Amino acid sequence: MELETLLRNRRKIRAIGFDDAPFVRHATKPVGVAGVICADTRFEGMVWGEIEADGWDATDTLCQLLIGGKFLSQIHVVLLDGISLGGFNIIDLPLLAERLERPCIAVMRKQPKLTAVIHAMQRLPHPDKRLEILRRAGTVYEHPPFYFQVCGADAGVTAQVLQQLTDCGHVPEALRLAHLIASAVVKGESGRQA
């Protein structure tokens, strides 16, 4: 069902929020990724996967966690904590939206500083390819308190959806829980900031 229709009819919106676990830079161990499913702000389920730090497998891994699984048919929208996981393992947002056939939203806490991001990427292999994937995600929209990039939905509708999926603060509940769970799995307890 279209997000606009769900909003108009005051229906629950099921989202999955993905966030990565804390990891040590330049280590060869895989980085954990938590995917938390919420109906509006109520926890309903979870998936767990692993990606390569600063690698190229984030988009494929997220697809593998959902395609063929029990949750994809229930989910209306996919939320990401930023456009990359595990450092600069950048998600191809239009490709993710196309493969999952769902709107995909990269949510940020503030407007990203593109020059700083480009500078940081220069230390990694194939910075131009990373920048190209980053640019494919499109415009960063500002709908306070949310900053986001979206593929598969209108920016105004997306802002309303993010509001409905947020209990308190500036982070949709699925992303907040994914952050807390990923931290707890790696560190033994959840972090302070979500």
* Residue 146, pLDDT score: 94
Q: pTM of the predicted model, to two decimals?
A: 0.95
* Residue 157, pLDDT score: 97
Yes or no: domain 3-186 corresponds to CATH 3.30.2170.10: yes
pLDDT tens for residues 122-131? 999 999 999 9
The percent of residues in the chain predicted with pLDDT above 70, rounded, is: 97
List the one residue out of 191, 135, 160 whose CA is nearest residue 77.
160
What is the sign, positive or negative, of the torsion defined by CA atoms of 155, 72, 191, 58?
A: negative
pLDDT tens for residues 24-57? 877 789 999 999 999 999 999 999 999 999 999 9
Instruction: Tokens for 57, please give them.
Output: 């497998």
Residue 132's CB: how many other CB atoms inside 10 A? 12
The domain segmentation of the chain, as residue ranges, is: 3-186
Please provide the distance, in angstroms rounded to a whole number, between the alpha carbons at the two ends of the chain: 29
Using alpha carbons only, give the angle 10, 155, 139 rounded to the nearest 5 degrees: 160
pLDDT tens for residues 43-96? 999 999 999 999 999 999 999 999 999 999 999 999 999 999 999 999 999 999
Instruction: Answer whether residue 191 shows pLDDT above 90.
Output: no
Q: 53 in the Ramachandran plot: left (φ > 0), alpha (ψ -120 to 50) or beta?
A: beta
pLDDT top residue among 188 and 153: 153
